[in-house]
A and B are shown apart, each in its own frame.
Chain A
């Protein structure tokens, strides 16, 4: 199974500051035939299902604010929120959809400092 590890666990960031969450997979999720990384980022708020933010490691889902961006390839990935807003307080998960079982990271709870 591909293990997906996120860090830090619970960063505290000031409003308006940059927030960065990292994700590392135990094996590459880059599919050589199409040169795409099968890595997504989701945001989850209490009592709600996860919401897709980023896919193919760096493609922003329609309607997601452009302060959210994704980067990385192979095994190392980053979600960046360029200027943290109060509504961004949530748990963030990375997920690999490269191979079964499709696995999520342990989650990163983003809090306001």
Chain B
């Protein structure tokens, strides 16, 4: 069974940092593009970043460029999102999502981890 399990969310003050992790199991992690997608409470899902199978291609939504860094460790079946200079607009549930057939078509999602930015 395919599983994606996120961790690392929590309450952080504006300007702070947080590192999210996602561990995949039940599939060959190293052969899939992976993404972070976030969803603020009551809002639409928003693509944040994605990374190619070998990490050689990365893309970000403009609102997080220069602040967030996506990375992966295929030996650990893990995806990461380093988030710096957080603002209240970054408050959301962050989902780890697997892409297949196309780099941004998400066939498997984790349950998400909540990030709350508040003073």
Contact = CB atoms under 8 A, between A and B. Distances in A.
Partners in one complex: yes
Interface of B: 44-47, 59, 61-62, 95, 97, 101-107, 109-112
Given A55-B101, A100-B59, A101-B61, A50 B44 contact: no
A52 interface: yes
Nearest to B4: A49
Contact of A55 (B61, B95, B105): B105
Interface of A: 38, 40, 42, 48-52, 55-56, 61, 93, 95, 97, 100-107
B62 to A, nearest CB: 7
Contact of B105 (A40, A93, A107): A40
Contact of A102 (B47, B62, B109, B112): B47
Nearest to A59: B101
A49 B101 contact: no
Nearest to B107: A52
A51 B2 CA distance: 14
Mostly, the B contact residues are: loop
Contacts of A51: 109
B106 A50 contact: yes
A63 to B, nearest CB: 11
Contact of B107 (A38, A61, A102, A107): A61
A50 B97 CA distance: 10
18 contacts: A40-B105, A48-B111, A49-B95, A49-B110, A50-B109, A51-B109, A52-B107, A55-B102, A61-B107, A93-B45, A95-B104, A97-B103, A100-B47, A100-B61, A102-B47, A103-B47, A105-B44, A107-B44
